[in-house]
Amino acid sequence: MRRLAGVDEVGRGCLAGPVVVAAVVLPFGVEIEGVDDSKRLSALARERAFARIVQGCLQWSAVTVSAAEVDEHNVLVASLLGMERAIRRLDPPPELVLIDGNRLPPNAPDAAIALVKGDGRSLCIAAASIVAKVLRDRIMHSWHRRYPAYGFDRHVGYPTAQHRQALLSVGPCPLHRRSFAPVRATLQEELRGSA
């Protein structure tokens, strides 16, 4: 049975929380009901598809890339590092890796292809996008209990009006990406206010 892996990330555009990267290995020709680009699915549909994916795939892995790593490297480099880590966790390695986007990680396997809009073109990338999205949402919902002022249970770290207002009112928490402009602006405002 030939092993095909799809890799995708979720959370690059967020102001807070990790980037989550998932890799899902499917046998060639498999169909899994309800799998589509995670952005096209409701939260309930994603949860149902997630259960089918983890039951029907040959293997899957997921890694988190922290806000601190995003700040250290930049979000693109951090995402590519996460992709490398997720692929390395697959044992045995897949025969072919399809990665969503237009760039391959620097240490991608020889048999790796970057696919622009891959989550709409490849079932295994769509499966990876669902796994990454479901896991990231769960992480952010759990962080909401510790930092309820930000509303992570609703926007999961994306730069909504509510999130931006909370940043202005409360300031950033340890989950916030200091290198992102809205967070950096809030920190600069706090420094001016304390001077």
**Averaged over 40-59, what is the pLDDT?**
95
The closest of 113, 111, 95 to 103, measured between CA atoms, is: 113
What's the pLDDT score for residue 111?
94
Chain Cα centroid distance, residue 141: 14
Q: For 114, list phi and psi in degrees, rounded to 5.
A: -90, 130
Cα separation, 96 vs 7, in Å, equals 11
* Rounded-to-integer distance, Cα 23 and Cα 116, Å: 16
The pTM for the full model equals: 0.94
> Is pLDDT larger for residue 130 or for residue 192?
130
User: pLDDT tens digit string along 133-162?
Assistant: 999 999 999 999 999 999 999 999 999 999
Which tokens hold the place of 188? Answer: 């600069």
* Mean pLDDT, range 49-64, rounded to an integer: 96
